[in-house]
């Protein structure tokens, strides 16, 4: 029969009410231990709020407006029940559960239904994602309705959370790695390495369930299965980067573009974004270039794409994002938004992993692997003046700054470390999530143009508002943002709407202030949106811990920091107000 989905939903409910990490890990490990092999990956993915493995390009395409229509049709319940529950909990899933519990019609209809299983839920998700062609939207809606019609209120809560990608139980991927290590008696480091290589923690757990811990010794790169990218920390100056890297480092231009991972096997090429989603269709000229100029039969490369004007000068990031979002009329867009492509690393070539080789050796191999493809401009130096001149030249050419890469550094998949440092001569921007918005005034009265900006708590996965802004976006971008936010609205409060936290924006500011206005006790001064980060997920947003760190550093320099604030505990935020 299979494990009931109810068991997974009950586990998620306990996780949501638990703050003790060791207990959370133990609860998940107990579930994994009792699942069949084919249930493990779906269960792991769902606990983390995903319908499919991270590398899987299928999407459900079920919006919140569609869900509310289906739920109201199923339950025949006054939607005020949802609004009241949401006001109390601040949680979409809990409010949905309250609606289902309030429905007499629904309770009577589900009394005789056989229980949903984990695998049945996965198969439903697959059917929803694979619906295509004429009337595909209607078919998706019917399948969602069929799924929710046989769910208990608790199951409906977590089905909706998965459907909209809003799990937020506080059980994040790092804890799942601990649970898998505990379940299968494997060193945590081995689990982490396998996750980086396979690109998905659920796949690793399924492999361990099927073949045991010995299987991890044979885990390697799989072409067309994207792997997690190496990430950089920040250095304030080129001098700091040189000192950190032992007196000499490789500087490269930090391009204002989109980072991509390219996989090639024979004549087939696939391109993945920073979020590991397949963007091959959007970049046909890069596919052609890789097919023509890369000599290796099987290879995984990393590079950066930038949008350029008629003279080949870099254009802002937002222009490039129009290419990434486009899946139709590519040739037309290709003519309107030309791009340049640069390579900067190689991870795998013809059966051999290169990630443990020193950076400069990888760079040499990269040069030998490609013909007429530009590599990022680079200098290797320990001279601060030379590096500063290189930085000045990069900025004058329209680039963001520099990347500094340790000469003997290996490639650490999915890790943000000091082997790579980014040097940008501005106050460090923050990537924040829009959690609410207000309609503007005057000519903006029909637009959601005033945005509440939130940072993510790395410990609880909740969002904390740290500012609000109406600055930075063009009228066209505001109109597009209004349409996007309307599809994510959970609740309306006069001129303000609360939205599902999905949209990430890069935010500039003058400083971070102490403020009683928000529960975080911090607020951005003169916040303005510099760009929409289509390439980032809410899980990749700047953390409240990072914001606090920036705050403390800026006031330590002025000698103003107070003990009271440093020791302040931030509580999860329920409302943007």
| Cα separation values, 518 from 345, 463, 488, 514, Å | 42, 12, 23, 10
In a domain, 271, yes or no: yes
Q: Verify that 254 and 284 share a domain, yes or no.
A: yes
In a domain, 399, yes or no: yes
In a domain, 66, yes or no: yes
Average pLDDT taken over every residue of the chain: 88
Q: Verify that 324 and 408 share a domain, yes or no.
A: yes
In a domain, 364, yes or no: yes
**Average pLDDT of the segment spanning 142-167:** 94
Q: Verify that 24 and 140 share a domain, yes or no.
A: yes
User: pTM score, two decimals?
Assistant: 0.81
Boundary-marking domain end, from 423, 442, 467: 423
**pLDDT at residue 358, as a whole number:** 97
The number of folded domains in the chain is 3
Residues of the chain with pLDDT > 70, as a percent, come to 93
Q: Verify that 468 and 556 share a domain, yes or no.
A: yes
Q: What is the pLDDT of residues 312-340, one digit of tens each?
A: 888 777 778 777 765 556 676 777 788 89
**Average pLDDT of the segment spanning 504-530:** 89
CATH code where residue 144 lies: 1.10.3260.10
In a domain, 412, yes or no: yes
**Average pLDDT of the segment spanning 187-199:** 90
Residue 291 three-state SS: helix
Q: Verify that 262 and 385 share a domain, yes or no.
A: yes
CATH code where residue 439 lies: 2.40.50.140
Catalytic residues: 254
Instruction: Report the C-alpha gap between 149 and 23 in whole angstroms.
Output: 33
SS (H, E, C) 509-561: CCEEEECCCCCCCEEEECCEEEEECCCCCHHHCCEHHHHHHHHHHHHHHHCCC
**pLDDT at residue 563, as a whole number:** 38
Q: Verify that 318 and 251 share a domain, yes or no.
A: yes
Boundary-marking domain end, from 111, 141, 163: 163
Which residues form the domain of 481?
A: 430-566
In a domain, 102, yes or no: yes
Instruction: Report the C-alpha gap between 473 and 40 in whole angstroms.
Output: 44
Q: What is the pLDDT of residues 375-420, one digit of tens each?
A: 999 999 999 999 999 999 998 888 889 999 999 999 998 888 999 9
**pLDDT at residue 562, as a whole number:** 38
Q: Verify that 133 and 243 share a domain, yes or no.
A: no
Tokens 């559960």, residue located = 97
Q: Verify that 129 and 17 share a domain, yes or no.
A: yes
Q: What is the pLDDT of residues 10-58, one digit of tens each?
A: 999 999 999 899 999 999 999 999 999 999 999 999 999 999 998 888 8
Q: What is the pLDDT of residues 468-511, one digit of tens each?
A: 999 999 899 999 999 999 999 998 888 899 999 999 999 999 88
Q: Verify that 373 and 434 share a domain, yes or no.
A: no
**pLDDT at residue 567, as a whole number:** 37
Boundary-marking domain end, from 399, 423, 447: 423
Dihedral Cα 307, 310, 314, 320, nearest 10 deg = -20
In a domain, 553, yes or no: yes
Specify the DSSP element, H or E, that contains 228. Answer: none
In a domain, 191, yes or no: no
pLDDT at residue 110 greater than cutoff 60? no
Q: Verify that 381 and 345 share a domain, yes or no.
A: yes
Q: Verify that 412 and 469 share a domain, yes or no.
A: no
Task: Give residues with Cβ within 8 angstroms of 510, minimum separation 6.
Answer: 427, 525, 526
């Amino acid at each position: 029969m299979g494990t009931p989905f109810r068991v997974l939903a009950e586990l998620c409910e306990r996780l949501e009410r638990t703050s003790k990490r060791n207990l959370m890990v133990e609860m998940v490990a107990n579930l994994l231990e009792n699942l069949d092999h084919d249930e493990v990956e779906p269960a792991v993915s769902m606990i983390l709020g995903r319908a499919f493995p991270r590398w899987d390009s299928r999407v459900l395409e079920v919006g919140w407006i569609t869900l509310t229509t289906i739920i109201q049709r199923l339950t025949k319940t006054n939607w005020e029940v949802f609004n009241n529950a949401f006001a109390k909990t601040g949680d979409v899933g809990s409010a949905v559960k309250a609606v289902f519990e309030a429905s007499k019609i629904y309770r009577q209809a589900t009394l005789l239904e056989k229980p949903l299983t984990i695998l049945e839920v996965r198969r439903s998700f697959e059917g929803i994602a694979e619906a295509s062609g004429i009337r595909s939207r209607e078919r998706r809606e019917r399948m969602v309705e069929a799924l929710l019609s046989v769910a208990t209120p608790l199951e409906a809560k977590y089905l909706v959370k998965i459907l909209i990608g809003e799990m937020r139980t506080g059980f994040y991927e790092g804890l799942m790695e601990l649970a898998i290590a505990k379940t299968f008696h494997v060193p945590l480091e081995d689990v982490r390495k396998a996750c980086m290589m396979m690109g998905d923690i659920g796949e690793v757990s399924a492999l361990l369930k099927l073949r045991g811990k010995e299987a991890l010794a044979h885990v390697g790169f799989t072409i067309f299965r994207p792997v997690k990218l190496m990430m950089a920390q920040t250095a304030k100056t080129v001098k700091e980067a040189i000192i950190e890297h032992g007196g000499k480092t490789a500087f490269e231009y930090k391009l204002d573009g989109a980072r991509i991972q390219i996989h090639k096997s024979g004549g087939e090429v696939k391109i993945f974004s920073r979020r590991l989603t397949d963007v091959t269709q959007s970049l046909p000229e890069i596919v052609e270039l890789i097919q023509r100029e890369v000599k290796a039969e099987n290879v995984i490369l990393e590079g950066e794409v930038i949008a350029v004007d008629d003279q080949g000068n870099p254009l802002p990031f937002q222009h490039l994002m129009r290419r990434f979002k486009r899946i139709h009329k590519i040739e037309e867009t290709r003519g309107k938004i030309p791009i340049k492509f640069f390579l900067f690393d190689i991870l795998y070539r013809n059966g051999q992993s290169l990630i443990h080789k020193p950076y400069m050796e990888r760079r040499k191999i990269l040069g030998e692997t490609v013909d007429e493809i530009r590599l990022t401009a680079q200098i290797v130096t320990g001279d601060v003046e030379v590096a500063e001149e290189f930085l000045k030249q990069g900025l004058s050419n329209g680039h963001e700054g520099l990347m500094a890469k340790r000469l003997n550094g290996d490639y650490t998949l999915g890790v943000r470390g000091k082997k790579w440092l980014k040097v940008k001569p501005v106050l460090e921007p923050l990537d924040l999530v829009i959690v609410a918005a207000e309609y503007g005034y005057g000519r903006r009265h029909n637009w959601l143009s005033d945005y509440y900006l939130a940072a993510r708590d790395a410990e609880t996965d909740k969002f904390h508002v740290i500012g609000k802004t109406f600055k930075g976006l063009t009228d066209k971008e505001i109109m597009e943002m209004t349409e996007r936010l309307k599809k994510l609205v959970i609740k309306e409060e006069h001129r303000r709407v609360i939205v599902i936290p999905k949209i990430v924006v890069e935010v500039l500011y003058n400083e971070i202030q102490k403020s009683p206005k928000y529960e975080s006790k911090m607020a951005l001064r003169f916040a303005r949106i510099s760009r929409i980060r289509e390439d980032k997920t809410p899980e990749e947003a700047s953390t409240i811990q990072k914001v606090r760190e920036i705050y403390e550093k800026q006031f330590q320099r002025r000698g103003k920091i107070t003990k009271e604030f440093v020791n302040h505990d931030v509580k999860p935020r329920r409302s943007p107000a």
